[in-house]
Structure 1
């Protein structure tokens, strides 16, 4: 009897739990009805599982918001596509008692802990609809949250596709209200931790059927151009579009554009990014990351006032924004989050008199809102007029005098290659004038003029010498006629003779070995002899086993960067090497680097920005866009170079086997040391015993981390890398690449897969004494070492 009563108690308890569980999931599937609500630990999930709605906390913020994000897309941070209470966040203390509720009157609201409405759809339904208690909210599988009549699905009262935040999803609308004469804006977040409306917005101009991007809802700095029924005139690349189908729908109440995806398996979105650019992303399943497919404006400094008041935008620096001389960031915290909208403020207040200084900013695009002064007929009179005007912040004299007396916006620093800029004289306190290392101000530049003239003369002599050598070596020693700009063809016998029957082997690379040769005109060449596709990759080894000093390593890194710059920017066609790694950098007797092994290289005409090709290269050096199988640019080589540069600095491979058999991925640790701790010395090869130029080490470490950023638009060009390593450009501390951040936080759950042969070889290398001498990123394969 007692046993039977226990059984009944158990069954009662079991059914109670089951009933309670079912009640919870009925609320948190894809629909809520009138009077129901979502709490902190509940979500709506669309029928197909594509999207999820609930409470979320962006970035490092302590505030909570109601939003919609991708459910199936697996990334470290939620990819949020819509936010309800953008300007009314919920505090961490109140989130447990906050609600997302559908009221009986048909309005959808967000309630805080005091049950005060912080966000609402603000609908005024008709009496018949208001009395209808069957309202419901459904999260559809396309990401659209729909408030509708629970009996008649076609009666839609409100939907998120009509009120986007910063993301435009397929099927959504970007519209213009013909009744109120107001556009629906697609507005950027303020920063990664704050989804409130930023300064940049995309809107529709119905008269021209075009989209424009505005700064602060006023200043237009980009337009798509008018719609001609097929493409926007300012986006000619739409002619090659094979992903999207755009359409324009004019109406009495509203006019709008919408789009669909031809291949419904492609996950894609448009985002009004906090960088001020409209960006198109597609999901790359292979790399489990978002791939930037298209963006406008193309360069960051084309975004109006991106660096805020008294900020300077430089396309040749990282990050893009700096403060004018004598100024500092208004909010260093915002600048660290790459939110430069607050701009800069003066370090020292002006005294308004002759004691103020006017240092010159050369080769700049002048700020907006200049005021011409007709009364000033010379540069001296222009300066005097600015000095006497206490509100004058700067002046410039070109064909006439111009002054600036308010916030200076949209100042751009041109690169050395672009000489179209002007000189601007900025007014700052005399105490804030930058000093040169010798203690003199920038105005004392007579020594620089003398040195510059001497350098110019030397450069001219060098040019004449190089030209003479080029004229002397016009012929390659063969009887063949060579067309200028084309490839030179050699017969097998020519190469056999030049390499002395392939007698002097430099090393082995992908699919073959490399031999040293000399042409009849004494030109040294490297010849690769293919030996079979199944051979696999071999690592060059240093024959004399000597450790390269820091100065040599730095010159190798700089020389390699110059070589890649030539391939990317100086050749008639852009050449993407596609397999940059230490094994493909050959060193001569003087340790001068030569970029070798062009077997996987790809040519891109100057009229094209990227090329679609099959994945090629070596694991560990492949950029994320390679793995995702989408079109690549020269930035793929930049990523590989960054990985290689870490190896040059540290003298170790990027992936190594530990004693317990696990694979240690060095860039993950290195990125944290550079970005979070700013400890570049920790990366240095211990065999150098600290014998290093710390300034060069910092530059190299930072630029290496910038090169391996997941988003190719955040990577510098190889030309910028050269300027950074030469000390011409400054480089700030980089962020940790998202992929490496994920690897670091989930290290125990990450598994590396490689073929058995590679694993065995790497294990032998990591445990043998010989390999301990060859872990330097660049192996010396000089002819001198071969002879030794």
Structure 2
């Protein structure tokens, strides 16, 4: 009866005329309407997830926040969207059922079996739970969205299994979206682990149920035991926690409006053949390609979108008899794996050589593993490659590569060696002759640079810069000119003055930037070391340096959103240098002039000429004073060995300048507190921060972010290194993941007050 009544229901039902959190029997919700929870944090209505297919809509619940994109937490008709170009509505029937209809066809329902009319009301609660309640008894919940989770776990909802009163066993689990635009059931599920520990879960790949990956969530996630089989997230925590299972198998945990990852190296994170490398699985991770492979899309890798994965540099032709010739293939060892890649197949008890030969005999065999007791094979694409940088031992596999473009026959090898020997002798004689003419040739120490660093001639540099005609800036070590490479890419060329100090700066910069890459570090494209000429070639940053935007009196000054983005990006770049490189790199000259901005005002740290490399076995380095007055940490003047916390101090001072739009050392209109960092820390302790904001912003700033940034800056400039946070913690503080207390006023700044009063 109910199925045939929804057409009449559409004609007779009323619709909402104002914002509310309720829908009563006989009422309908249309595509341009929504329910809003009483606390204003959740909204329920029709939503589109793919701008390229803007007619497909779903009924969904999303989190409302002025600074965030719409974050979907529940989808009703995830398997069957409605076409918004045709009439559609969500209605609460007089039989107490929730019905989604389109052109008089039923698309989705709450599927309640009622044979007579009942009075019910649909309510969107402050928890984000959408519930059907008896109109006469609001405690009687007949249906709720928490019983039908999609990809998000909200506080108050439960996961696990429970025996229902009818004897059936219900399992509550999360199922990922198919992709970021398609909410239909995807390839991953998250459910409680068999040991029933509060933080223990199992991540399963739907396409292959044997791929079950144990997950232990962070213990500070406030999980509460609901009953023997069910758990929930404590709903009283402020800010609230939530968990999302992404379409690539990555678990994202939100603390309020801030996200951090608990298993970035989950299923599919780095795509086929991609290796997930993480020193700290909770926060810092990246994807790389194995030796012999390259990214399928360099553009995607550059923006940290790794789903496409990697591909072989030289793919093989999988035709008849092509796989049996062992001269055409080699195997690359990949060790220290956290676990086996997915989809391994046990071949049998074979020796390593037998296992390798068996793999060679099958063209689709991608890799093998053996320790002379067992033999495993992998076919087609490899996924789930994870390496922990802090893990010295782990599993090992051998990945199959083609040698058709890399193997040299012995006869060719002898000829090549003869040619190389002749060329080497000729070059040596030329160098000896040129060495006689002092000043006409300067010996440059050989630098081992990765393949992506190019070496240019001086003539190429003159041509690229049109004889150094467009100067972008000038500093103590030389001038920077605008240029254009052979492929018409804009570049920046730094032309160094040549004295002994500049030679050292040149060598330091090439050796530092030549071995690292990060989205918040300026990229070194190449260099020129011809005769007495020393030039460095960088990617061009169209918005120039931070100081050119920060300190100018202009109506189009940097908005607060861009300033905060610059602060977080710069902190991420420093955290990478300090904590994620093979050697700790201390920049030693953090200031607005050395933070460059791309076309989107994303920051990149530049000028590594003063950088100090510190081995991981050492925590301090004794070096001569370097940097810029006004940004130097106190330890520089005490003669003690420095640590990476010297950069933290400089960052804190720069952060105050980002907030105020003024130089810290510039004259400040306050007789009692003549130095802005002193004024800022004193005002923070008095509970005032709006007075610290750049007046050019006219008060337009996120007050929560402003308070947070001021506190972080105050902690960064503490006199004691031990009291300053690491840059990794600074990132988390600015993101709101870690609470920040009010910093004490540094004694060195208080001395300024005493000196003024004296």
- Normalised TM-score (structure 1): 0.49
Q: 2:329 aligns with which of 351, 358, 376?
A: 358
Q: Distance in 1 between matches of 2:666 and 2:146?
A: 55
1:100 aligns with one of 74, 90, 108: 90
Superposition deviation, residue 388 in structure 1: 3.2
Structure 2 contact 352–371 (Cα < 8 Å) conserved: no
- Counterpart pick for 2:546 among 647, 654, 658: 654
For the structure 1 residues 415 and 247, does the alpha-carbon distance in structure 2 shift closer, same or farther, using more than 3 Å as the test? closer
**Counterpart for residue 246 of structure 2:** 273
Once residues 718 and 546 of structure 1 are traced to their aligned partners in structure 2, the CA distance between those partners, rounded to angstroms, is 28
Deviation of 1:90 (Å)? 2.6
Match among 249, 255, 258 for residue 282 of structure 1: 255
| Aligned counterpart, 2:58 | 65
1:164 deviates by: 2.0
Q: 1:361 to 1:441 in 2, by over 3 A?
A: farther
Measure the CA separation in 2 of the matches of 1:654 and 1:220: 48
Separation in 1, partners of 2:570, 2:662:
30
**Alignment partners' CA distance in 1, 2:391 and 2:581:** 18
* Correspondence for 1:131: 117
Residue 74 of structure 2 aligns with which residue? 82
* Structure 1 residue aligned with 2:505: 591
In structure 2, C-alpha distance between the alignment counterparts of 1:207 and 1:422, rounded to whole Å: 25
Give CA deviations for 1:212-235 in whole Å, capped at 9, x if unaligned: 1312253332244xxxxxxxxx75
Q: Does 1:185 align with 2:152?
A: no
- Tell me, yes or no, if structure 1 residue 199 matches structure 2 residue 187: yes
Deviation at 1:201, TM superposition (A): 2.6
The one-character-per-residue Cα deviations of 1:632-677 (angstroms, maximum 9, x if unpaired) are xxxxxx89767999999549323645896412589979x9xxxxxx
C-alpha RMSD over aligned residues: 5.7
Q: Does 1:388 align with 2:329?
A: no
Distance 1:100 1:170, change over 3 A: same
Larger strand fraction of residues: 2
1:45 alignment counterpart: 36
Query: Structure 1's 374 and 292: CA in aligned 2 closer, same or farther, altered over 3 A?
Result: closer
Asked whether the equivalents of residues 363 and 421 of structure 1 are also in contact (C-alpha less than 8 Å), the reply is: no
Structure 2 unaligned spans of 5+: 1-13, 421-472, 484-490, 495-500, 510-517, 526-536, 586-597, 604-656, 668-758
Deviation at 1:541, TM superposition (A): 8.6
In structure 2, the CA distance between the partners of 1:390 and 1:435, relative to structure 1 (3 Å rule), is closer
The answer to whether the 8 A contact 2:97-2:111 is kept is: yes
Higher RCO, 1 or 2 (CA under 8 Å, sep at least 6)? Answer: 1
Counterpart contact for 2:273–2:309, Cα < 8 Å: no
Paired residue total? 480
Q: Is 1:111 the counterpart of 2:5 in the alignment?
A: no
Equivalent-residue separation in structure 2 for 1:650 and 1:336 (angstroms): 16
- 2:262 aligns with 296
Structure-1 residue corresponding to 2:569? 708
Mapped partners of 1:101, 1:176: distance in 2: 31
Q: Which runs of 5+ in 1 are unaligned?
A: 1-22, 225-233, 284-289, 452-539, 557-586, 596-637, 672-703, 726-735, 742-751, 763-788
SS in 2 for 1:80: strand
Question: Map of 1:93-492 to 2, 5 A cutoff?
Answer: 93-94=85-86, 97-112=87-102, 114-125=103-114, 127=115, 130-132=116-118, 134-179=119-164, 180-205=168-193, 208-210=196-198, 211-217=200-206, 218=209, 219-224=211-216, 235=218, 237-238=219-220, 244=222, 246-250=223-227, 255-263=230-238, 266-283=239-256, 290-292=257-259, 295-297=261-263, 300-301=264-265, 303-304=266-267, 306-307=269-270, 311-315=274-278, 320=287, 322=289, 338=305, 340=307, 348-352=317-321, 353-355=323-325, 357-364=328-335, 365=337, 366-371=340-345, 376-377=350-351, 379=353, 381-389=354-362, 392-400=365-373, 402-404=375-377, 406-407=379-380, 409-412=382-385, 414=387, 420=393, 424-427=397-400, 433=403, 435=405
Question: How big is the shift at 1:390?
Answer: 5.3
Displacement after TM superposition at 1:31 (Å): 1.2
Q: How does 1:376-775 map to 2 (within 5 A)?
A: 376-377=350-351, 379=353, 381-389=354-362, 392-400=365-373, 402-404=375-377, 406-407=379-380, 409-412=382-385, 414=387, 420=393, 424-427=397-400, 433=403, 435=405, 542=475, 546-547=479-480, 590-591=504-505, 650=541, 652-654=544-546, 656-657=548-549, 661-663=555-557, 708=569, 755=660, 757-758=662-663
| Partners of 1:761 and 1:392 in 2: CA distance | 67
CA distance in 2, matches of 1:386, 1:644: 42
Deviation at 1:41, TM superposition (A): 0.8
**Shift, 1:382, TM fit:** 3.3
Aligned mates of 1:281, 1:757 — CA distance in 2 = 35
Task: Decide whether aligned partners of structure 1 residues 753 and 329 sit closer, same or farther in structure 2, where only a CA change above 3 A counts.
Answer: closer
1:54-77 residue CA offsets vs partner (Å, 9 max, x unmatched): 111225452321111123x11352
**Residues 656, 664 of structure 1: 8 Å contact kept:** no
Name the CA shift for 1:164/1:403 in 2 (closer, same or farther; >3 Å).
closer
Cα shift readout 1:63-109 (whole Å, capped 9, x = no counterpart):
321111123x1135201211111121233534xx2212222322212
In 1, Cα distance between equivalents of 2:241 and 2:334:
40
Residues 390/38 of structure 1: CA separation in 2 closer, same or farther (3 Å cut): same
Question: 2:359 is paired with a residue of what secondary structure?
Answer: helix
Once the two structures are TM-superposed, the CA of residue 39 in structure 1 deviates from its matched residue by 1.1
Matches of 2:573 and 2:476, distance apart in 1 = 40
Contact 2:205 2:212 in 1 (8 A): no
Structure 2 Cα separation of the partners of residues 339 and 249 of structure 1:
38
What is the CA deviation profile of residues 413-443 of structure 1, one whole-angstrom value per residue up to 9, with x for unaligned ones?
6478866466644456x5xx5746xx9699x
- In 2, distance between residues paired with 1:445 and 1:719? 43
Contact 2:244–2:252 (Cα < 8 Å) also in 1: yes
